[in-house]
Structure 1
């Protein structure tokens, strides 16, 4: 596969193609499937980047699960690469990729980037962004987020909602689900965060 990839650099005319074999999309997908099956994430990342470099595009049916699996394995760079690929092609990422990017940014305490990726790409018609879906999201990822992170998310999300003339249903679903999650999953150790949440909400109400 490495030799096939390098062959592309030596092709400048149709005549060169006669003596050299270059990878096509089937070759890339076969390699990606093999890497994913063996959980060889570094190799998968290399093959995937080579696929994009050779002019082939992300295919949700073939590549979505791979990208999500690499993220769950702690390899977020591939998601970042895919995100840039969509931006350069002026395409909208699939809802599950948007939500995964949101999760990754929120886990990094980058609330602005997390909210931005939703504001820029989401469709309010997608069930992926319903109140129930967001609540399940917080439950499934409870071990990834600090309570303080979620408190800050509610604060910043509430400010965005207040600044918009029209209410964004996605933000509304997100914030109400996050509040419900904090209220129903709070522990004694989280009393300080609850008080901080109430204080931030009061400050936001006074400002707007």
Structure 2
């Protein structure tokens, strides 16, 4: 703080809030969380924190699993005029709040932040939020996953493979086979492919919610899929036939695994010929 007072007297200097935010970030990197909070409280007596400061503090709270403090800060900044300066949450602000809410298993607040982010015009970052959405979906917020999936398609982007398979398995668990087939048709030409082995692993992983009877009904529905010749769809059919008639599974061709590094190691995002049956 003595150094900051000296900086204030310099002719050429960065804005005070930038310097103090840098001190908070440095303290966080050093693991001195109490110092981060102390500097932030001291800062408020000398200047108005900007959105960069707020985002840095949210990062501090996220790393420390301080959900209540993050929520309070997030709520207090919105729409407040600080001496002519209005702080407006940005994409990083919403991203940090989604993460801190998920870590605290606060799924109601997670939904609140997600909706506000959408209304504010910020788009989902699949690389950061895909696993959070799946966790939220499995905690009773499946409509958020569906909203995100549809929004990604409307934006002309390809949903992450994990989002796709989770949507399919939600539809299957609800015995909505028409919806499951529609999803498979939609993603048949995606840049990623899912092999027979990967489909089988996913079914086995979800074995508690998907019975043999459901698998047989899904196999019948997939048989009428208009994209039946596409690799991902044909691999799904092979997997289902193998699971429904285990006695004949040895006669079925097995798919090459072709597993790449993704958020879900069972999903293949490589579309080369070596992944084709």
* TM-score normalised by structure 1 residue count: 0.74
Matches within 5 A, 1:33-182: 33-123=99-189, 126-127=192-193, 129-160=194-225, 167-182=229-244
Unaligned stretches of 5+ in structure 2? 1-73, 248-277
Equivalent residue number for residue 28 of structure 1:
94
Query: Secondary structure of 1:159's partner?
Result: coil
Deviation of 1:88 (Å): 2.9
Q: Larger Rg: 1 or 2?
A: 2
* TM-score normalised by structure 2 residue count: 0.57
What is the root-mean-square deviation in Å for CA atoms of aligned residues?
Answer: 2.5
Equivalent residue number for residue 43 of structure 2:
none
Q: Which moved more, 1:39-48 or 1:176-185?
A: 176-185
Deviation of 1:32 (Å): 1.2
Distance change in 2, residues 1:150/1:157 (3 Å): same
Distance change in 2, residues 1:134/1:55 (3 Å): same
Matched residues, number: 174
Distance change in 2, residues 1:140/1:3 (3 Å): same
Once residues 220 and 158 of structure 2 are traced to their aligned partners in structure 1, the CA distance between those partners, rounded to angstroms, is 27
Higher relative contact order (CA 8 A, sep 6+): 1
**Is the Cα contact below 8 Å between 1:95 and 1:122 reproduced in 2?**
no
Once residues 88 and 159 of structure 1 are traced to their aligned partners in structure 2, the CA distance between those partners, rounded to angstroms, is 26
Deviation of 1:125 (Å): 5.5
Deviation of 1:122 (Å): 3.5
Deviation of 1:171 (Å): 1.6
Deviation of 1:26 (Å): 1.8
Once residues 163 and 191 of structure 2 are traced to their aligned partners in structure 1, the CA distance between those partners, rounded to angstroms, is 16
Once residues 196 and 115 of structure 2 are traced to their aligned partners in structure 1, the CA distance between those partners, rounded to angstroms, is 35
Moved over 3 A (4+): 2-5, 16-19, 122-125
The answer to which structure has the higher helix fraction is 1
Deviation of 1:51 (Å): 1.1
Deviations 1:72-94, CA, capped at 9 Å, x for gaps = 22320110120231233232211
1:2 to 72, 75, 92: 75
Distance change in 2, residues 1:93/1:125 (3 Å): closer
